[in-house]
Structure formats: structure tokens, C-alpha cells
């Protein structure tokens, strides 16, 4: 008999994949195919929620073989919330894209298949329980992301895409090395089986080291962030939104999953080290963002800072109420996804309007482009972590965990990061109110571009109110509880 | 018998390495071409002997594919050699 | 005659040492053309190593893919870079000087290029190199130690594969893993190939390769070889059901045939270069996904072919995949959109 | 078959050789070669260890994984080379620019 969730699970991966093929075969209809696929994929993600809430976590044996021989798919609350966030951001970006690429018609036929494959890879990543299958997903994700980065052409974008591709390939190679070691030690690549079989020792440490190094490189944790700002700033606006909001979350999710299910008990030192890197990233990224003259680069450096927050949970997780820290950073990841996508889309709208993204020359953009500026400010509220946004809920939970364990240093970093974020967001808002000496001509910006940014920003705010709904969903399958039977 | 085959493989392998040395040293493009050709042939021979040693007849398929493919690489090499040989390559006669 | 027993070890030692030497030369030889040539030789030796490891399926793919297609791709790229493109040859050129104006302070060893380090103090560079060397040696040591520790008899999943082999629809274990037990990976892997092609086309780097007129010898050679290669590809698909071979090996040979035809100046007829070509390119993923999803309607799990049909399902998938892989590899070589 | 361990260890050596070149060498073609050497080394480790089965018949699962990996590596190489050529025709450079886009 079919497991009840089998159909939507298949739909989450195959709808975007087959739509990508359709876009490749019929480039002229790409807009319509893409929008339809975005709608259907979002529908599949939404259908999953009630199924998971009633039936609990889902495990599907592809081909009916079952691990360790076959590949298993697995979905719990953690996969579900990330799939949902991907769907919402994906829908928003897909709604933004037709108008945006109306002005860049030569890029449009390539954007759609690449983006739909990227979506399929992300969904596949969140649904897979098989380390080698995850490697294939990582490669699918990395190659499509690099190709999308290069889409706008021109020296800086190509340079950034090239560096991104090399970094991404090195990251997945390191990950694969870890998979090879684990397979030969334990004769399986299924995460759950490995979790039961893995033992502390030299081999597990080696696998942990290479896999974490590779994935931290891909997630752009300080000091591996060097490739991120040029790539995220140089890409076309909808692509920047995808890269910052979604792609980074893919490798972070995998990192988190490996830590929770495989490596969590191996090292006491590593979480502290990761926490320190995260704290540096929060402060360094925000300070860099504050100094940028270009809007898109500022938003990209803000991503470096926001990635840092995600790693602050590692040192907290082992202590009192440690699982709160995991909930906190997952919430932050969701909020950052929506808010950062909204910010990059607003930047795209501003760029279309003013033909430049110099922050100092925004010239009364507030009066001339009110919807877009509202979107930017609302997204900024969530990035700063002010109530009632999703970012606020995440930071609140993180502070709660930090206070309970008397980790005042981490609490200060969280708060300071918020203050710095406020500084760079208000810098933009300030210039947007200020007239420049020479009045600037503005072009027209299609409403679909402005509204998709605004709706995503509203989503980031509403995420604050959705906590009573989302936090129980996150608990499905108890992803943060220690696995029973694991040696400690 | 097994060891005879291994001795043969070792001998062919050493020939191969000597050929590689010739590819690297030159001195003329013709030397390189010939060495490259010979390289593919020797590798195919090693595969055929290995097919005997490990009792894996499928290795002969590999030798077949290698023999066919050698044409490609040599073609690509010649093509490149005609477009432009890198200057300062140590073939200054 | 005790020394005779050392012969297999000697063979493996020579193979390993040759691989390391070739890789080292390919990565350090000042002449890029030579580097690429050595890299192609590296691929052939790697093929021998796979044969030595009884990994015949991999050898069958490595030689046409690793040595053939990758080699041809590298050579084609090299011929489009200017002839004077020689790495680290003479003193830094003018463009090089421009590149180095804007080094980022505070960058870590991960980003530091040798060239980039040129404007840093010599002591700092030496220190950086020493630290990196030390780290690499430590990594090599631990990786070697871990490999050593792992080296004790273990059958992995061999028994499981053999137990379920009769249900898989094929008799050859590697094909069964690729097309059935782990078919999901394989489907996505063909998608990776297609994705790379879409990416290459989106960059629109029109290749000027093959636009020159072919030499008569070359034309004759390819007329002779191409049909032979297509025949070998067909044989490899067929043989894959019960012996080493299958869609990837066949597709690689097919792709290599396409590269050869292209090198000899052959072009796709104008009528076939548009959507018919795209259809062939997309066929592999489309057929695989269609069959994999259609079985859900029969009450089977995703990609779970009923045992009675598995043989036919796999054959259809393999044929479509072979065509697509061959077409994609050949198109990757051509580079620019047709 | 224990002499095959030599080949698995060669895989480890290749991986680190490639990593060294990837970091040190500036020319992008060389970096692409280095990445290929890295993946070849990892494949060698993965499939080399598969040859330690007691029965003599190697484990087919890692072999299938390596086949998948080789195809992915070719795809990645093709994309990287196309990017290199595009970068070259846009900027005339064959190295990465370290100016972070500012």
C-alpha cells in the first residue's frame, strides 16, 4: 500500500524537475510553466503539513528496497518547515521573475530551468535520509546556483560565479570524502542506521572534520565567507534572493542534521569553536555591511552576519534546555529566508527604478517607491529582531537559552548584532528620505515586482505570529531530541 | 602462470612510464605524438593481460574502448598542435 | 622463487607512483598544454587502476569520460585561450600587475593564491607556506591512518545486493545498484549532466572549434571510427544487463563518438539542431522520471518497478539514458548553442 | 589482494596533492585540473576500499557511487571550463580577481 505522503513527497522533487525540462523544451512558455510549477510545488509543500501533524514523521523507501540497500526519504518537522519556507520564497521569487526578466529577455529562458532544478535539489535535500543521495543533491544545488550567479554576465559576476563554483565543488568533494569513510566503516549511508552504528573514534572524527569543513565552506561561515558577498551581490536580483534566502540554508540544514543524528556527541571543543566563529561572523558581517556604499553588497554582508547567528546554537545545545537553541536558530533561518528574499527583491525594484544601487543616491525613494521601501523596512525589522517579527521570535528563544546557561557573552553578541543591523537598515532608510543635490530620474517598476517583495516581507513579520503553529510542527519526529541508543 | 602474467604487466607498465617520459621530454612534436600513440596501445595490452590474470573477460571490452578512444585524444592532440604549439616549449631546434 | 609473490605488489606500487607523479606534473608543469596532456595520461592510468581493482564498470566509464571527453574538453578550452597562455612562465605581465592591485587584507590561507601572495612580505609568505604544508601533511597522515585502520575484510553491502539481485531485473550487480536499488541517484545524476549543459548554454560561449575545415585523413578516420563506436555503445548497453557495461559506459562512448565527429568538422543538420536535439537531450531524465512516477499509479513505491517488468523498464530507461548522455556530452564539447 | 591497499592510499595522496594545487595555483585551468585530481583521489579511496571483500568479488555499491561521481565530475568540469572561457572573453583574465566586487 502507498504511504499517505508518498505522492506529495514525489511531487515536491519531481514537479520542479519536470517543469525544468518543460522550460528547456519550450523556452517561450517558460514564464507560464514556471509559475504553474511554483504554484503546484507550494501546494505540495502545504499538503504535507496536515499529513505530518497527524501521522508523524514519514519514511519512504524509494524503489521499495529500504536502507541500507536502497535510498530512504525522510521528512520530519525540521524538513517540513524548511520545505515550507522554500516554497513561500520560491513562489515570491517566481512571481517577481517574469517582470524582472521582461527587461532582460536573453536571460529569461535560462533562469527558469536553472531555478526549477535548484528548487528540486533543495526539496530533494530536505527530504533525503541517504548521505550519498545528499551528495548528488548538493552537486545539483551547487552547479545550478553557480550557473544562476553567472546569468547576468559581465566580468564581476562571472568572476564571482567562478569562485563560487570552485568553492562549492571543493565543499562537496570534502563532504564526499566523509561519506566514503563512513560507508566503509559502517556499510551504510543511511543517516538513521549510521546514527545507531557510529562510535567515537578516529574515523568518526575524520569524517566529522571533512564533512563539517566542506559544509561550512558552502554555508559561508566566517572565515569561509569570502566568496559570498560578490556572488550574492553580482547576480540578478531574483537570483540573489534565492542564493541568500535558500541555497545557504540547504547546506546549513545538512550540517545541522549531521550534528543532530551523527556527530553531536563526538566533540566538546568543536561546538565552542563553531560558536566563536559564528559570533565573529555576526559582528564582522554587520560591520562590513555598515560600510558598504552599494545596497546589494550591504544586503550580502548582512547575510554573512545572519549566517553567524545560525551557528550560535552549537555551543548552547549541550547545556540546560539546549533544544531551545536549535528551535531558535531554525526559526532565525526561516525568518532570514523570507526577510532576505524580500530585501534583495526590493533592491532589484530599486535598481530598476533608479538604474543604480548607490545607497547615498537613493533620493527620496520613499516617496516615489513607497511599496518597495515598506517591504525593505519590514524585512529590516525582522533582520534586526524587533517584535513582532519572525526574527524577534528566533532571537528571543536564543537569548532565553543563553540566559539559562549564563552564557552572557553570546547574549551580548546577539543583542549587539541586532543594534548593528538596525544601524545599516536605518542608514538606507535615511538616504531614502533625503533628496540628493541633483534630482534623479526614475523608471517605472512593475507592480508585480513591488508586491512580491512586500508580501515576502509581510511574511517575515507574520512569522512572529505563526510561532504557535510552526513550533509544534517543528517538533514532529522530535528532530532535536538525542537519538535513543546512541553512545554518549 | 599467474606470476608470469604479473611480470608481463610490470614490464609493460615500465615501458609505459618510459613512454610518458618521452611525451614529457619531446624533443620534437613527432616524438610526443608517437609516444602518445604507443601509450594507448601499451595500456590496452596491459588491460588484455589483466583480463587473463583476474579472469575477467569484460576487461577486453575496456581494452576495445581504450583502443577506439586513443583515436580521439590523438586527433585532439594533432588539432591542437596545428592550431598553435605553445611558445617556448622545449622544442627549439 | 619467493620474490615472485611480490610482483602484484610491485605492479600496484608502480601504478600508484605513476598516478602520483602524473598528477604532480599535471598540476605543476609550467606549460599548460603539457599539463593537460599529462592529465589525459593520468585518466588512462586511472583506468588501469580501476581494472586492477576489479572495478571494470568504472574502468569502462573512466576511459571514455575521464580521459576521452574531459581531455577533449580541456584541449578545446586550451585552444580557445590564447596561445601565449602559459602559466607562471615569464615575469608578471601587465594584466597580472593590474590583477594584484586590490588584494583584500586579512584574508585567510584558504583564499591566498601563490600569485596573490606576491605583494606580501617574504617572511609572511614562507610562514604561510610552512603552515599550509604542515596542515596538509597532518591531513595526509590522518587520512592514510584512517584508510589503514579501515583495511580489514568487510563485505559491505555485497550480500544484500546478491540476495536481491534476482528481483532487480538484471544479473549484473553494479547495473542493479545503478538502475534499481539506487536508481534515484542515477536519475538525478543524468539531471546533473543536463543541468551542466543548460549552464554552459546560458553562458553562450560560442565555440570556434570545428569551424575549420577538416583534414582528409581526419575525415576518413572519423568516417571509419564513428560507426564502430556507435556499435560498441549499443553492445555496451546490451551487455550491461549481465556483465560490466550499461547506460553510462555506452553513453560515454557515444558522446566520444560525437566529439570525434565534431572534431572532423561534422555538424548537426540545421533542421535537427533546434527542438529535436533538445528532445533527445531531455529524453533520459524524462523517460526515467516518467516510468519512476507511473509505477506509483500501480500501487508501487516511487521508482519501484514490479519484478515482472523490471527487466523491460530498465532496458527502456537505459536506452533513453544512453542517447541523452551521449548527446549531452557531445553538446557540452561543442559549447555554444547550436 | 592486500597489495591493493597501496592504491587506496594513493587516493589519499592524490586528494591532498590536488588540494594543495587548488590553493596555491592561480590559473583557473589549473584549479579545474586540481579539482579533478581531488575527486579522482576520493573515488580511488571509495572504490579501492571496496576491494577488501573477503570473497574476492568487490562491493558493487561503492562502485556504483563512483560511477555516479565520475559523471558528476565531468558535468562540473564542463561548466567550469565554460565559465572560464566566458570570464576570459569578458575580462581577458584567466585568474580570479580578488577585488570583492567593490
Q: For chain C, which chains pass the contact test of at least 3 CB pairs under 8 Å?
A: A, B, D
Query: Where in chain A are the domains?
Result: 268-488
Asked whether residue A487 carries a pLDDT value surpassing 70, the answer given is no
pLDDT of residue D53: 83
Contacts of D86 in chain A (CB under 8 A): 150, 153, 158
Asked whether residue A1 carries a pLDDT value surpassing 50, the answer given is no
pLDDT over 70 for what percent of chain A?
98
ipTM of the complex as predicted = 0.94
Of A400-409, A471-480, C276-285, D51-60, least confident by mean pLDDT is D51-60
Asked whether residue C259 carries a pLDDT value surpassing 90, the answer given is no
Query: Where in chain D are the domains?
Result: 2-91
What mean pLDDT is predicted for residues D20-35? 94
Q: Which residue of C has its CA nearest to A209?
A: C139
Return the DSSP state at D3. G
pLDDT of residue C90: 38
Q: Quick one: pLDDT band at residue B90, thresholds 50, 70, 90?
A: very low
Q: Who wins on pLDDT, C148 or B78?
A: C148
Asked whether residue C100 carries a pLDDT value surpassing 80, the answer given is no
pLDDT of residue A36: 97
Say if C18 is an interface residue toward chain B (CB within 8 Å): yes
Which residue in A21, A65, A143 is closest to C286 by CB distance? Answer: A21
Using the beta-carbon criterion (under 8 Å), do C289 and A17 form an inter-chain contact? yes
Q: Quick one: pLDDT band at residue C85, thresholds 50, 70, 90?
A: very low
pLDDT of residue A486: 44
- Do A130 and A72 meet the contact criterion of CB atoms below 8 Å apart? yes
What mean pLDDT is predicted for residues C95-117? 38
pLDDT of residue A321: 82
Q: Quick one: pLDDT band at residue C335, thresholds 50, 70, 90?
A: low
Say if D40 is an interface residue toward chain A (CB within 8 Å): no
Q: Which residue of B has its CA nearest to C64?
A: B69
Which residue in C14, C32, C260 is closest to B71 by CB distance? Answer: C260
Asked whether residue B89 carries a pLDDT value surpassing 80, the answer given is no
pLDDT of residue C109: 34
Contacts of A158 in chain D (CB under 8 A): 83, 86-87, 90-91
Asked whether residue A229 carries a pLDDT value surpassing 70, the answer given is yes
Judged on CB neighbours under 10 Å (0-12, 13-18, 19+), C333 is buried
Asked whether residue C4 carries a pLDDT value surpassing 70, the answer given is yes
Contacts of D45 in chain A (CB under 8 A): 177, 180
Number of other residues whose CB lies within 10 A of the CB of residue A14? 21
| B2-13 residue pLDDT tens | 889 999 999 999
pLDDT of residue B76: 62
What mean pLDDT is predicted for residues B65-90? 60
Say if D78 is an interface residue toward chain A (CB within 8 Å): no
Of A250, A241, A255, A147, the closest CA to residue A210 belongs to A255
Contacts of A132 in chain D (CB under 8 A): 65, 68
pLDDT of residue C96: 38
pLDDT of residue B9: 94
Asked whether residue C334 carries a pLDDT value surpassing 90, the answer given is no
Of A123-137, C227-241, C254-268, D32-46, least confident by mean pLDDT is C254-268
pLDDT of residue B87: 41
Q: Who wins on pLDDT, A456 or A438?
A: A456
Using the beta-carbon criterion (under 8 Å), do A64 and C304 form an inter-chain contact? yes
Q: Quick one: pLDDT band at residue A238, thresholds 50, 70, 90?
A: very high
Please state the three-class secondary structure of chain A as a single string: CCCCCHHHHHHHHHHHHHHHHHHHHCHHHHHHHHHHHHHHHHHHHHHHHHHHHHHCCEEEEHHHCCCCCCCEEEECHHHHHHHHHHHHHHHHHHHHHHHHHHCCCCCHHHHHHHHHHHHHHHHHHHHECEHHHHHHHHHHHHHHHHHHHHHHCCHHHHHHHHHHHHHHHHHHHHHHHHHHHHHHHHCCCEHHHHHHHCCCCHHHHHHHHHHHHHHHHHHCCCCCCCCHHHHHHHCCHHHHHHHHHHHHHHHHHHHHHHHHHHHCCCCCHHHHHHHHHHHHHHHHHHHHHHHCCEHHHHHHHHHHHHHHHHHCHHHHHCCCCHHHHHHHHHHHHHHHHHHHHHHHHHHHHHHHHHCCCEHHHCCCHHHHCHHHHHHHHHHHHHHHCCCCCHHHHHHHHHHHHHHHCCCHHHHHHHHHHHHHHHHHHHHHHHHHHCCCCCCCCCCCCCHHHHHHHHHHHHHHHHHHHCHHHHHHHHCCCCCCCCCCCCCC
Contacts of C63 in chain B (CB under 8 A): 62, 65-66, 69
pLDDT of residue A261: 94
Asked whether residue B86 carries a pLDDT value surpassing 70, the answer given is no
Q: Quick one: pLDDT band at residue C95, thresholds 50, 70, 90?
A: very low
Say if D101 is an interface residue toward chain C (CB within 8 Å): no
Of A228-232, A292-296, C120-124, C258-262, least confident by mean pLDDT is C120-124
Q: Which CATH number fits domain D2-91: 1.10.287.3510, 1.10.3720.10, 1.10.10.10, 2.40.10.220?
A: 1.10.287.3510
Say if A294 is an interface residue toward chain D (CB within 8 Å): yes
What mean pLDDT is predicted for residues C179-203? 96
pLDDT of residue B78: 62
pLDDT of residue A287: 97
Helix axes A295-311, A269-291, angle to 10 degrees: 160
pLDDT over 90 for what percent of chain C?
52
Asked whether residue C94 carries a pLDDT value surpassing 50, the answer given is no
pLDDT of residue C260: 81
CA distance C107 to chain D (A): 10
What mean pLDDT is predicted for residues A411-425? 96
Using the beta-carbon criterion (under 8 Å), do B79 and C75 form an inter-chain contact? yes
CA distance A433 to chain C (A): 33
| A38-59 residue pLDDT tens | 999 999 999 999 989 998 999 9
In whole numbers, what is the pLDDT of chain C averaged over residues? 83
Q: Who wins on pLDDT, D42 or C93?
A: D42
Q: Which of D35, D47, D61, D83 best tests the C interface by mutation, with the highest count of C CBs <10 A?
A: D61
Number of other residues whose CB lies within 10 A of the CB of residue C81? 17
Judged on CB neighbours under 10 Å (0-12, 13-18, 19+), A36 is middle
Of A138-142, A336-340, A381-385, D22-26, least confident by mean pLDDT is D22-26
| C288-315 residue pLDDT tens | 999 999 999 888 899 999 988 899 999 9
In whole numbers, what is the pLDDT of chain A averaged over residues? 93
CA distance D90 to chain C (A): 10
What mean pLDDT is predicted for residues A313-317? 94
Using the beta-carbon criterion (under 8 Å), do D53 and C155 form an inter-chain contact? yes
pLDDT over 90 for what percent of chain A?
85
Using the beta-carbon criterion (under 8 Å), do B87 and C86 form an inter-chain contact? yes
Cis omega before residue A223 (within 30°)? yes
Using the beta-carbon criterion (under 8 Å), do C301 and A136 form an inter-chain contact? no
Using the beta-carbon criterion (under 8 Å), do C173 and D85 form an inter-chain contact? no
Chains C and A touch each other (3 or more Cβ pairs < 8 A): yes
pLDDT of residue C317: 96
Amino acid at each position: 500500500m502507498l504511504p499517505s505522503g508518498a505522492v506529495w513527497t514525489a511531487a515536491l522533487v519531481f514537479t520542479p524537475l519536470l517543469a525544468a525540462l518543460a522550460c528547456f523544451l519550450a523556452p517561450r512558455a517558460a514564464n507560464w510553466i514556471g509559475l504553474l510549477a511554483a504554484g503546484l510545488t507550494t501546494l505540495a509543500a502545504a499538503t504535507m503539513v496536515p499529513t505530518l501533524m497527524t501521522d508523524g514523521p514519514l519514511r519512504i523507501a524509494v524503489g521499495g528496497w529500504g536502507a541500507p540497500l536502497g535510498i530512504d526519504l525522510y521528512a520530519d518537522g525540521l524538513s517540513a518547515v524548511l520545505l515550507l519556507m522554500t516554497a513561500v520564497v520560491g513562489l515570491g521569487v517566481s512571481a517577481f521573475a517574469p517582470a524582472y526578466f521582461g527587461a532582460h529577455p536573453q536571460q529569461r529562458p535560462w533562469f527558469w530551468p536553472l531555478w526549477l532544478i535548484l528548487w528540486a535539489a533543495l526539496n530533494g535535500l530536505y527530504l533525503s535520509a541517504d548521505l550519498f543521495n545528499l551528495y548528488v543533491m548538493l552537486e545539483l544545488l551547487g552547479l545550478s546556483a553557480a550557473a544562476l550567479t553567472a546569468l547576468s554576465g559581465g566580468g564581476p559576476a562571472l568572476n564571482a560565479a567562478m569562485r563560487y563554483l570552485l568553492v562549492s565543488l571543493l565543499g562537496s568533494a570534502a563532504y564526499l570524502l566523509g561519506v566514503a569513510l563512513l560507508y566503509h566503516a559502517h556499510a551504510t549511508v543511511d543517516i538513521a542506521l549510521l546514527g545507531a552504528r557510529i562510535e567515537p573514534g578516529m574515523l568518526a572524527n575524520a569524517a566529522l572534520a571533512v564533512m563539517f569543513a566542506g559544509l561550512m565552506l558552502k554555508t559561508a561561515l566566517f572565515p569561509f565567507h569570502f566568496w559570498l558577498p560578490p556572488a550574492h551581490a553580482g547576480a540578478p536580483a531574483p537570483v540573489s534572493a534565492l542564493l541568500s534566502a535558500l541555497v545557504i540554508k540547504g547546506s546549513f540544514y545538512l550540517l545541522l542534521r549531521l550534528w543532530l543524528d551523527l556527530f553531536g556527541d563526538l566533540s566538546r571543543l568543536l561546538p565552542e569553536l563553531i560558536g566563536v566563529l559564528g559570533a565573529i561572523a555576526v559582528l564582522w558581517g554587520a560591520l562590513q555591511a555598515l560600510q558598504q556604499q552599494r545596497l546589494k553588497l550591504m544586503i550580502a554582508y548582512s547575510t554573512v552576519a545572519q549566517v553567524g547567528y545560525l551557528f550560535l546554537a552549537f555551543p548552547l545545545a549541550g547545556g540546560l534546555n539546549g533544544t531551545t537553541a536549535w528551535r531558535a536558530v531554525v526559526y532565525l533561518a526561516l525568518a532570514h529566508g523570507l526577510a532576505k528574499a524580500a530585501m534583495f527583491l526590493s533592491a532589484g525594484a530599486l535598481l530598476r527604478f533608479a538604474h543604480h544601487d548607490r545607497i547615498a543616491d537613493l533620493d527620496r525613494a520613499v516617496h516615489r517607491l513607497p511599496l518597495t521601501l515598506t517591504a525593505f523596512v519590514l524585512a529590516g525589522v525582522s533582520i534586526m529582531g524587533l517584535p513582532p517579527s519572525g526574527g524577534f521570535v528566533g532571537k528571543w528563544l536564543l537569548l532565553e537559552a543563553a540566559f539559562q546557561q549564563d552564557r552572557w557573552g553570546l547574549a551580548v553578541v546577539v543583542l549587539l548584532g541586532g543594534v548593528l543591523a538596525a544601524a545599516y537598515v536605518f542608514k538606507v532608510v535615511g538616504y531614502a528620505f533625503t533628496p540628493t543635490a541633483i534630482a534623479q530620474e526614475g523608471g517605472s517598476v512593475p507592480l508585480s515586482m513591488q508586491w512580491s517583495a512586500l508580501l515576502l516581507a509581510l511574511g517575515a513579520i507574520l512569522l512572529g505570529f505563526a510561532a504557535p503553529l510552526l513550533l509544534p510542527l517543528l517538533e514532529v519526529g522530535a528532530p532535536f531530541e538525542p537519538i535513543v541508543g546512541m553512545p554518549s | 602462470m599467474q606470476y608470469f602474467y604479473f611480470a608481463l604487466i610490470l614490464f609493460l607498465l615500465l615501458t609505459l612510464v618510459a613512454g610518458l617520459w618521452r611525451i614529457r621530454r619531446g624533443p620534437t612534436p613527432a616524438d610526443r605524438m608517437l609516444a602518445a600513440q604507443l601509450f594507448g596501445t601499451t595500456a590496452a595490452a596491459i588491460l588484455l593481460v589483466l583480463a587473463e590474470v583476474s579472469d575477467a573477460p569484460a576487461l577486453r571490452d575496456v581494452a576495445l574502448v581504450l583502443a577506439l578512444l586513443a583515436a580521439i585524444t590523438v586527433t585532439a592532440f594533432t588539432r591542437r598542435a596545428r592550431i598553435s604549439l605553445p611558445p617556448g616549449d622545449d622544442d627549439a631546434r | 622463487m619467493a620474490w615472485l609473490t611480490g610482483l602484484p605488489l610491485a605492479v600496484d606500487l608502480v601504478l600508484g607512483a605513476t598516478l602520483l607523479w602524473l598528477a604532480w606534473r599535471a598540476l605543476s608543469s609550467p606549460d599548460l598544454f603539457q599539463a593537460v596532456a599529462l592529465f589525459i595520461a593520468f585518466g588512462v592510468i586511472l583506468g588501469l587502476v580501476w581494472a586492477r581493482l576489479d572495478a571494470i564498470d568504472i574502468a569502462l566509464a573512466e576511459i571514455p569520460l575521464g580521459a576521452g571527453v574531459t581531455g577533449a574538453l580541456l584541449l578545446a578550452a586550451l585552444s580557445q585561450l590564447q596561445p601565449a597562455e602559459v602559466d607562471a612562465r615569464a615575469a608578471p605581465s601587465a594584466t597580472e600587475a593590474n590583477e594584484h592591485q586590490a588584494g583584500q587584507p586579512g584574508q585567510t590561507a584558504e583564499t591566498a593564491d601563490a600569485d596573490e601572495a606576491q605583494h606580501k612580505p617574504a617572511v609572511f609568505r614562507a610562514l604561510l607556506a610552512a603552515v599550509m604544508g604542515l596542515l596538509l601533511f597532518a591531513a595526509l597522515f590522518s587520512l592514510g591512518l584512517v584508510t589503514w585502520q579501515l583495511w580489514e575484510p568487510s563485505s559491505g553491502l555485497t550480500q544484500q545486493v546478491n540476495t536481491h539481485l534476482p528481483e532487480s531485473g538484471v544479473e549484473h550487480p553494479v547495473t542493479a545498484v545503478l538502475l534499481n536499488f539506487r536508481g534515484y541517484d542515477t536519475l538525478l545524476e543524468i539531471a546533473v549532466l543536463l543541468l551542466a549543459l543548460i549552464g554552459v548554454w546560458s553562458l553562450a560561449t560560442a565555440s570556434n572549434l570545428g569551424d575549420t575545415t577538416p583534414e582528409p585523413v581526419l575525415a576518413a578516420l572519423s568516417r571509419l571510427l564513428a560507426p564502430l563506436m556507435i556499435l560498441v555503445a549499443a553492445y555496451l548497453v546490451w551487455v550491461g544487463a549481465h556483465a560490466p557495461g550499461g547506460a553510462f559506459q555506452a553513453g560515454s562512448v557515444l558522446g566520444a563518438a560525437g566529439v570525434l565527429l565534431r572534431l572532423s568538422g561534422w555538424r548537426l543538420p540545421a533542421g535537427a539542431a533546434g527542438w529535436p536535439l533538445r528532445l533527445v537531450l531531455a529524453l533520459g531524465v524524462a523517460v526515467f522520471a516518467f516510468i519512476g512516477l507511473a509505477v506509483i499509479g500501480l500501487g508501487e513505491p516511487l521508482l519501484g518497478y514490479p519484478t515482472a517488468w523490471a527487466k523491460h523498464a530498465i532496458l527502456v530507461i537505459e536506452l533513453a539514458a544512453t542517447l541523452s548522455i551521449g548527446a549531452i556530452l557531445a553538446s557540452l564539447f561543442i559549447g555554444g548553442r547550436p | 589482494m592486500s597489495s591493493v591497499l597501496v592504491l587506496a592510499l594513493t587516493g589519499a595522496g592524490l586528494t591532498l596533492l590536488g588540494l594543495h594545487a587548488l590553493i596555491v595555483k592561480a590559473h583557473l585551468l589549473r584549479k579545474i585540473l586540481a579539482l579533478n585530481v581531488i575527486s579522482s583521489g576520493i573515488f580511488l579511496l571509495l572504490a579501492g576500499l571496496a576491494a577488501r571483500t573477503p570473497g574476492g568479488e568487490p562491493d558493487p555499491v561503492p562502485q556504483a557511487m563512483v560511477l555516479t561521481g565520475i559523471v558528476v565530475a565531468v558535468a562540473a568540469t564542463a561548466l567550469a571550463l565554460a565559465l572560464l572561457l566566458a570570464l576570459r572573453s569578458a575580462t581577458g583574465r584567466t585568474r580570479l580577481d580578488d577585488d570583492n566586487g567593490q
